[in-house]
Structure 1
Amino acid sequence: MNRKLRGRPDFLLLFLTVLLVAFGLVMIFSASSPKAIFTHDNSWHYVLKQGIFAGVGLFLMLIFMNIPYSIWKKAGPGMILFSFLLLVLVLLVGTNINGAKRWFVLGGLNIQPAEFTKLSIIVYLSTLISKKGEEIRSFKKGLLPLLIMVGLIISLIMMQPDFGTVLILAFIAGTIIMIGGVDLRHLFMLGLGLVPMFIYLAISQSYRLKRIHSFLNPFENQSDSGYQLIQSLYALGHGGLTGTGLGRSVQKLFYLPEAHTDFIFAVIGEELGIVGTTLFFIVFFLFFWRGFAAAIQSNDPFGMMLGMGLISMIGIQFLLNLGAATGSLPVTGVPLPFISYGGSSLVLCMASTGILLGISRDNNRRQKEELLHSHHHNRRSTSA
């Protein structure tokens, strides 16, 4: 390819991603320092570990944005197979943390295979649907094979158990399948069939039932199931208009559990107030806008589905986390993208953004080619 026609990535999207990651590191240091001092005698413990993953994520993001996104079309089947093997392996030899076997512990770092699986599902579904074309409207030949693979993956993740990731995967799969042109009647019937299953999964385990109960009536069990949400609401209320100031949260002093992971937004709200959280929302809104723009502007069905799947994945995690921290949704244990402590999630989000940047680069290249072609055509017409 002529280097003169090489498209530029969306630099605003790149800048916003780096800004969010940097802000996340600052907030992780603020939210985790009391716990880090108490448990590791080092206030930098958690932010240094997150910094390692941020470096890995940055490396992958820069690599992925500089390779043609079409390469993922060939990688789809291999990625889903690799994810399937990892999910089986983590159930057999993974580390049990708080009653869940979701992680491999390597060199003191926790690796969560389910995070990689999100990317695998997006690539796999986008690849298959783009190849099927109009055949996707057939339930037997189009939709059913996709549902079987997604169902197998979700079943393995439920065995960990990880209900939050199951919800995210179901949303991602539904989004890509709908964009891919499935018969909406099939999707509607599928949705009706899944509702009882999700209700059963939500109430079949006592800890999930407690989360739902604490979501509906948090102040009935202030010292038990409702404690986490109440402390989060206290933090947000304490922040007021301008916040207590960066690093001056009270709730992070062992009042708010998971202050640097699932409930880091509560610390952001307490320290930066309404003004700070509004700016935070604006940055994320701009990020989603540029991500959706990259996906929609692709003239390749695979590129559009891939991009929409990636930005939807980050978006649903953003909404689930904020919903839990504000009491708008039950707690699902989903991290805040780019911000929460958790290396697997951070690497996934940064790598996914790299693919989005690759799609935006291809869009810009195509636009330059069209302009160049139009310019040459006009010159020939003028000469004639």
Structure 2
Amino acid sequence: MSGNIRGRPDFLLLFLTILLVGSGLIMIFSASSHLALIQHDNPWHYVMKQGVFALIGLFVMFTFMGIPFTWWKRAAPILLLFSLLALTLVLIGGTSINGARRWFFLGAFNFQPAEFTKLSIIVYLSAVISKKGERIREFRKGLLPILAIVVIILLLVMKQPDFGTMLILLFIAATILLIGGTDLRHLVIFSMGLIPIIVYFAVSKSYRLQRLTSFLNPLDSPQGSGYQLIQSLYALGHGGLTGVGIGQSVQKLFYLPEAHTDFIFAVIGEELGFVGTSLLIFVFFLFIWRGFMAAISSYDPFGIMLGIGVIMMIFIQFLLNAGAVTGILPITGVPLPFISYGGSSLVLCLASTGILLSISRDNNRRRQEATRIQQNRGS
């Protein structure tokens, strides 16, 4: 077999991805149709827009699946520069919504630079750490330049402000640095210096502190900071074991804010019940497992870090969203991957999955070549 022939992708991972996207479109229509009818006189408004992004995302996913993952190592500096530029420009000329300046609006669609930054920082850290090799254990020449870039990105995201994305970027960076062989002591020292900044950011505005602490006792402010969580818990409780049926949610009728975006998991719980949410969680964890196996099977340290970074990004977003909706974690405004309404998030998840599928293709090609060599030796 020629070395330039690509192997087969992980078809289970591909199937799970399409299953999640399809399920998301169904639930977005269910959660948003009433709102869309009132706001836009068209119950299909939001799901049609999401469908366009799904088609774009799938096109990007299949395109990235066909690109050898090693190509991203060369593209890393360009992606990083684009992210830094976009994060800077959005603070100057971006659209402000509810006090947050995070979006560029392009006609009927919008672009959120922080979403793109999640992927670019994964690619950049994986590329630079794999290039440094053992030098990453040196603080001044190995780790410090990388941390400087990470801090700049975090500060730009904090300025928007976007606390949820900042947490995701921190988890991504810490994961890749640990996998890449960074001295744990250096990370601990860096974390000790960063924690006070994060705490200050969280408590410097009273509304942020209320959002972060209201999950502990939402009934203290039933019409204020605890309102969203209370309505979310009502939805989950109303769903019971098997749910009230698709399209029959009561909480989505202007009781539950952001029903088709950040709190769509609550609508799923109300309409499909504990059984439906359990199946969704199972699909997510199966997706995470297949992606993780593809990542750790790579022959290339860059591929390992790249794949695990992608999986960590999707996994952390899932945990933060599901944890917020169920009252286990604070509300951070993180969407549910593949499911929540939002074009930037959906395209990012599908593009990232395309990279995972590219890694799996390379793994399968190498297995096929190894099998062929063994068969030739045995003949």
3-state SS of paired residue (1:57): helix
Counterpart residue number, 1:382: none
Counterpart residue number, 2:368: 368
Counterpart residue number, 2:116: 116
Q: Is the 8 A contact 1:13 1:287 kept in 2?
A: yes
User: Are residues 4 and 118 of structure 1, via their aligned partners in 2, closer, same or farther at CA, if it must alter by over 3 Å?
Assistant: closer
Q: Provide the rounded CA distance (Å) in 1 between the counterparts of 2:84 and 2:3.
A: 39
3-state SS of paired residue (1:187): helix
Q: Provide the rounded CA distance (Å) in 2 between the counterparts of 1:322 and 1:190.
A: 29
Q: Provide the rounded CA distance (Å) in 2 between the counterparts of 1:244 and 1:193.
A: 49
Q: How big is the shift at 1:276?
A: 0.9
Q: Is the 8 A contact 1:5 1:368 kept in 2?
A: no
| Structure 1 letter corresponding to 2:112 | Q
Q: Provide the rounded CA distance (Å) in 2 between the counterparts of 1:2 and 1:369.
A: 9
Counterpart residue number, 1:70: 70
Q: Does 1:214 find its partner at 2:214?
A: yes
Q: Provide the rounded CA distance (Å) in 2 between the counterparts of 1:236 and 1:197.
A: 35
Residues 346-379 of structure 1, C-alpha deviations (whole Å, 9 max, x = no match): 0000000000000000000011111111222223
3-state SS of paired residue (2:223): coil
Q: Provide the rounded CA distance (Å) in 2 between the counterparts of 1:307 and 1:212.
A: 31
Counterpart residue number, 2:96: 96
| Structure 2 letter corresponding to 1:43 | P
Q: How big is the shift at 1:4?
A: 9.3
What is the number of equivalent residue pairs in this alignment? 379
Q: How big is the shift at 1:52?
A: 0.7
| Structure 1 letter corresponding to 2:196 | P
5+ residue gaps, structure 2: none
Residues 78-126 of structure 1, C-alpha deviations (whole Å, 9 max, x = no match): 0000111111111111111111110010021111011001110000000
Q: Which structure 2 residues correspond to residues 177-216 of structure 1 after superposition, within 5 A?
A: 177-216=177-216
| Structure 1 letter corresponding to 2:295 | A
Q: Provide the rounded CA distance (Å) in 1 between the counterparts of 2:98 and 2:308.
A: 34
Residues 162-187 of structure 1, C-alpha deviations (whole Å, 9 max, x = no match): 11111000000000000000011111
Q: Provide the rounded CA distance (Å) in 1 between the counterparts of 2:233 and 2:195.
A: 30
3-state SS of paired residue (2:317): helix
Counterpart residue number, 1:307: 307
Q: Is the 8 A contact 2:212 2:332 kept in 1?
A: no
Q: Provide the rounded CA distance (Å) in 2 between the counterparts of 1:18 and 1:199.
A: 39
3-state SS of paired residue (2:102): strand
Q: Alignment RMSD, CA only?
A: 1.1
Q: How big is the shift at 1:5?
A: 5.0
Q: Provide the rounded CA distance (Å) in 2 between the counterparts of 1:57 and 1:292.
A: 21
Q: Provide the rounded CA distance (Å) in 2 between the counterparts of 1:193 and 1:102.
A: 26
| Structure 2 letter corresponding to 1:350 | L
Residues 240-296 of structure 1, C-alpha deviations (whole Å, 9 max, x = no match): 000000010000000000000000000000000011111111111110010000001
Q: How big is the shift at 1:3?
A: 8.0
Counterpart residue number, 2:129: 129
Q: Provide the rounded CA distance (Å) in 2 between the counterparts of 1:246 and 1:83.
A: 39
Counterpart residue number, 1:352: 352
Q: Is the 8 A contact 1:241 1:275 kept in 2?
A: yes
TM-score, reference length from structure 1? 0.97
3-state SS of paired residue (2:32): helix
Q: Provide the rounded CA distance (Å) in 2 between the counterparts of 1:348 and 1:213.
A: 29
Q: Provide the rounded CA distance (Å) in 1 between the counterparts of 2:301 and 2:222.
A: 50
Counterpart residue number, 1:285: 285
Q: How big is the shift at 1:225?
A: 0.8
Q: Provide the rounded CA distance (Å) in 1 between the counterparts of 2:57 and 2:276.
A: 26
* Worse-superposed segment, 212-221 or 325-334: 212-221
TM-score, reference length from structure 2? 0.98
Q: Is the 8 A contact 1:119 1:348 kept in 2?
A: yes
Q: Provide the rounded CA distance (Å) in 1 between the counterparts of 2:304 and 2:292.
A: 9
Counterpart residue number, 2:341: 341
Q: Provide the rounded CA distance (Å) in 2 between the counterparts of 1:5 and 1:145.
A: 37
Q: Provide the rounded CA distance (Å) in 1 between the counterparts of 2:353 and 2:317.
A: 14
Q: Is the 8 A contact 1:130 1:301 kept in 2?
A: yes
3-state SS of paired residue (2:96): strand
Q: How big is the shift at 1:190?
A: 1.9
Counterpart residue number, 2:258: 258
| Structure 1 letter corresponding to 2:253 | L
3-state SS of paired residue (2:104): strand
Q: Which structure 2 residues correspond to residues 139-158 of structure 1 after superposition, within 5 A?
A: 139-158=139-158
Q: Percent identity?
A: 69
Q: How big is the shift at 1:230?
A: 0.2
* Worse-superposed segment, 181-190 or 218-227: 181-190
Q: How big is the shift at 1:195?
A: 2.2
Q: How big is the shift at 1:192?
A: 2.4
* Worse-superposed segment, 126-135 or 282-291: 282-291
Q: Provide the rounded CA distance (Å) in 1 between the counterparts of 2:218 and 2:37.
A: 30
User: Are residues 176 and 3 of structure 1, via their aligned partners in 2, closer, same or farther at CA, if it must alter by over 3 Å?
Assistant: closer
Q: Provide the rounded CA distance (Å) in 1 between the counterparts of 2:5 and 2:338.
A: 32
* Worse-superposed segment, 369-378 or 334-343: 369-378
3-state SS of paired residue (1:132): helix
Q: How big is the shift at 1:193?
A: 2.4
Q: Is the 8 A contact 2:239 2:273 kept in 1?
A: yes
Q: How big is the shift at 1:202?
A: 1.2
Q: Provide the rounded CA distance (Å) in 2 between the counterparts of 1:212 and 1:112.
A: 23
Q: Is the 8 A contact 1:137 1:182 kept in 2?
A: yes
Q: Provide the rounded CA distance (Å) in 2 between the counterparts of 1:304 and 1:181.
A: 12
Q: Provide the rounded CA distance (Å) in 2 between the counterparts of 1:59 and 1:28.
A: 21
